[in-house]
């Protein structure tokens, strides 16, 4: 819980912060915000991310200081892991023998660390980081506010997902008062895509599949190469399938170099996609989750359909 996290932080000086591979806005924003909060507390803090910072988050304060690495080296007294249900989710080596602090808001969160603060009611890990900063008496700078606001904005689907409530807007209000600029944050995220991503989206949507309440799209290795797309260009494509009026649950299948498929699942609330992802070793939230499945695509899609209880139409 929060008080334990704070007391462990107070006893130490040097921290490494990390989050999951292929980081989203909450992973990046919370890591960057928390690192600045720790520095305000007189600590040393470094952010290490396996895949670095995706392009749409490059303009966040201190994004250029993030270390992209496969291994955590260095004489840190604790590793703070955000948004992960295990060390493995970071895809980083060198965390195993360290003192670990786990902060997560996912329904699938697990207490794998020495200190665990899990709050599934928080709309984003950034909400928890904000609470921690307030509790620690840290002044929220405009730079911290910008990172945390971006995390909240993206993790709530621009304040559209279930779970967004009056407290979310209260949090957003406080972050804006502290100096976050909503228009600038939104511009970088929603008008900051690469041309390759838009071409990839076109290729994926041209093969949109519909089966009852399910809408699904896929991207092959060959399409990735043809569009010159990067891994991060796949982020959010699933939402276009979910945006159809009678789609209740959407899936995005990304073919991996080894022939397996990474699956992103989204729901409008009627289906619990966290439960489905967990059946296949993945995790997430009721309305947004992910997992990996064996190919071919037809088999992966059939596995998801079966779990959803949707017959092949």
Please report, as ranges, the residues that interact with Mn ion according to CB under 5 A: 26, 124-125, 155
CB of residue 125 vs Mn ion: minimum separation in angstroms? Answer: 5
Shortest gap between Cβ of 124 and Mn ion (angstroms)? 5
Report the run of H or E that residue 203 belongs to, with start and end: helix 195-205
Strand ranges (E), 220-260: 249-255
Closer CB to Mn ion, 155 or 255, in the complex: 155
How many C-beta neighbours within 10 Å does residue 139 have?
Answer: 9
Torsion of CA 22, 24, 29, 32, to 10 degrees: 0
- Quote the least distance from Cβ 25 to Mn ion, whole Å: 8
List b or e across 278-288, with b for residues whose CB sees 16 or more CB atoms inside 10 angstroms.
bebebbbbbbb
Half-sphere exposure of 159 (CA within 13 A, CB side): 13
Tokens 């840290």 correspond to 138
Q: Which is nearer to Mn ion, 32 or 124 (CB)?
A: 124
**Could you give phi then psi for residue 217, rounded to 5 degrees?**
-135, 165
d(CA 290, CA 263): 5
Q: How far is the CB of 191 from Mn ion (least distance, A)?
A: 22
124 or 129, CB closer to Mn ion?
124
- Write down the least CB distance from residue 83 to Mn ion, Å: 5
Smallest distance, Mn ion to C-beta of residue 163, A: 11
Measured from the CB atom, the residue of 26 and 248 that comes closer to Mn ion is: 26
Strand partners of residue 127: none
Instruction: Return d(Cα 25, Cα 123) in angstroms, integer.
Output: 13
Q: For residues 258 and 47, what is the distance between their CA atoms, to the nearest angstrom?
A: 29
Q: Which is nearer to Mn ion, 129 or 308 (CB)?
A: 129
Residue nearest to Mn ion (CB): 26
Choice between 124 and 263, CB closer to Mn ion: 124
């Amino acid at each position: 819980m929060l008080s334990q996290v704070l007391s462990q932080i107070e006893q130490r000086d040097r921290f490494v912060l990390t989050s999951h591979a292929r980081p989203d806005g909450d992973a990046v924003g919370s890591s960057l915000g928390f690192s600045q909060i720790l520095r305000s507390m007189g600590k040393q803090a470094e952010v290490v991310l396996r895949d670095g910072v995706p392009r749409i988050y490059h303009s966040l304060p201190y994004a250029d200081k993030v270390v992209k690495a496969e291994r955590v080296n260095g004489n840190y007294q604790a590793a703070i892991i955000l948004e992960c249900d295990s060390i493995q989710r970071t895809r980083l080596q060198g965390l195993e023998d360290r003192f670990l602090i786990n902060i997560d808001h996912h329904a699938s969160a697990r207490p794998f660390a020495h200190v665990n603060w899990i709050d599934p009611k928080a709309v984003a890990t950034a909400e928890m980081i904000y609470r921690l900063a307030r509790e620690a008496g840290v002044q929220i700078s405009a730079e911290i506010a910008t990172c945390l606001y971006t995390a909240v904005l993206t993790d709530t689907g621009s304040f559209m997902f279930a779970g967004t409530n009056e407290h979310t807007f209260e949090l957003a209000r406080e972050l804006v008062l502290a100096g976050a600029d909503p228009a600038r944050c939104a511009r970088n995220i929603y008008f900051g895509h690469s041309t390759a991503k838009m071409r990839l989206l076109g290729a994926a949507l041209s093969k949109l599949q519909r089966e009852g309440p399910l809408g699904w799209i896929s991207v092959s290795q060959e399409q990735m190469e043809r569009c010159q797309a990067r891994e991060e260009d796949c982020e959010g494509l699933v939402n276009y399938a979910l945006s159809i009026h009678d789609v209740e649950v959407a899936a995005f299948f990304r073919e991996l170099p080894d022939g397996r498929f990474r699956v992103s699942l989204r729901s409008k609330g009627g289906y619990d996609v966290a439960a489905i992802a967990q059946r296949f070793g993945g995790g997430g939230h009721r309305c947004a989750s992910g997992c990996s499945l064996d190919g071919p695509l037809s088999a992966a899609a059939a596995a998801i359909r079966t779990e959803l209880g949707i017959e092949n139409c």
